[in-house]
Amino acid sequence: MSTTEQTAPLLEVRGLSIEAKGPDGPLVLTEGTDLTIRPGQTLGLVGESGSGKSMTGLAMLGVLPPSVRVRAGQVLLGGTDLIALPEKELRAVRGGRIGMVFQEPRRSLDPSFTVGDQVAETIRAHREVSRKQARNLAVELLDRVRIPDPGTRAGQYPHQFSGGMCQRVMLAVALAGEPEVLIADEPTTALDVTVQAAMLRLIKDLQEELNLGVLLITHDMGVVAEVCDDVAVMYAGQVAEVGPVRDVLSAPRHPYSAALRDATPDECRRGELLQAIPGQIPPPSAWPSGCRFHPRCSLAVDACREAAPDVLQLGRTRVRCARATENLTENSANNSTNNLTENSTNDSTENSTNNSAKNEGAGHGAR
């Protein structure tokens, strides 16, 4: 259950826009992203490939590719804007207050050092401990990420580990600096289906044990449903909808959130046909005018084609859709992109917050 109202934010992304060098000038990759990560909470950042999820995560860590840069916005960690921080100080934050796990663990591990040395080295980079203490702590961490026989395994090399075990080692490296926040970008995508669930469970357990704030980047709404408290749904460089997972999945306000949900296998809807989302996500060079989702949305009306929708605050959810107050029905599993009820009674009092939500520079990813 989301307890987002009770805890102060650990990390806030405010109005983050990212651009790449293009042949005809800067190309905007993401625009106006607002996210909030709280202690003991997992925020999922979900969307199709190319929606801008990874760029957002990399920008938060200050590790964007050379041709890409932050155009505007802030990434606030305990009041410090990481975007404005000199590289030397940012390096201490990376692997220190913020741990990271990426999709390809083998690429992140050095094949020529034992896994114990690699975890111990990260510990020593961020904590005042002796070599021996670091080595003992490394074994403890390998145990914490449930690597069997950690004392022996610490002396082995990455090639002696399976993909799932390598990802556990990466998690140990990520935890070595005693982070407050963990950013995990598709941490299970490269793993066999059988080990994915165990990895997700481990991240969830560690998050609870250590009271970590977690940003989990994934294209899989099933993963979001499994482990996240809140979710930000990203489409074509913008957050389309953000709010508690339970609310977004049971009553999505944005047709794209509904479409993603209905394209995802779900135990509760066994036997129902999955709905593929028609069309494709446009590249940043071809974003349409108006709502970026309108060419794929069967609910689109002229207003959606003509003007970019405002961000509306509806209950605990923020949504970028002109028709959001026309509630999506809860049982729209196979009809999400063409099934809105006209019942807006629940939202009538909340609509008055529309303008303030839109103008509120500091978005709250989860309430």
Return the structure tokens found at 135. 């080595």
In this complex, which beta carbon is closest to ligand ATP, that of residue 72 or of residue 125? Answer: 72
In this complex, which beta carbon is closest to ligand ATP, that of residue 48 or of residue 310? Answer: 48
In this complex, which beta carbon is closest to ligand ATP, that of residue 9 or of residue 284? Answer: 284
Return the structure tokens found at 159. 């090639």
Q: How far apart are CA 183 and CA 100, in angstroms?
A: 5
In this complex, which beta carbon is closest to ligand ATP, that of residue 55 or of residue 165? Answer: 55
Q: How far apart are CA 115 and CA 108, in angstroms?
A: 11
Residues near ligand ATP (CB under 6 A) are 20, 29, 47, 49-55, 65, 67-68, 219, 283-284
Residue 113: phi and psi, rounded to 5, are -120, 150
Among 218, 255, 270, residue whose Cα is nearest residue 335: 255
Sheet holding 25-37, edge to edge: 25-37, 11-22, 68-77, 80-81
Sign (positive/negative) of CA torsion 267, 271, 272, 278? positive
In this complex, which beta carbon is closest to ligand ATP, that of residue 186 or of residue 347? Answer: 186
Sign (positive/negative) of CA torsion 147, 148, 154, 156? negative
Cβ at position 237, least distance to ligand ATP in Å: 7
Cβ at position 320, least distance to ligand ATP in Å: 17
In this complex, which beta carbon is closest to ligand ATP, that of residue 104 or of residue 121? Answer: 104
Angle at 38 between CA 36 and CA 39, to 5 degrees: 160
Strand 312-314 and strand 317-319: the pairing is antiparallel
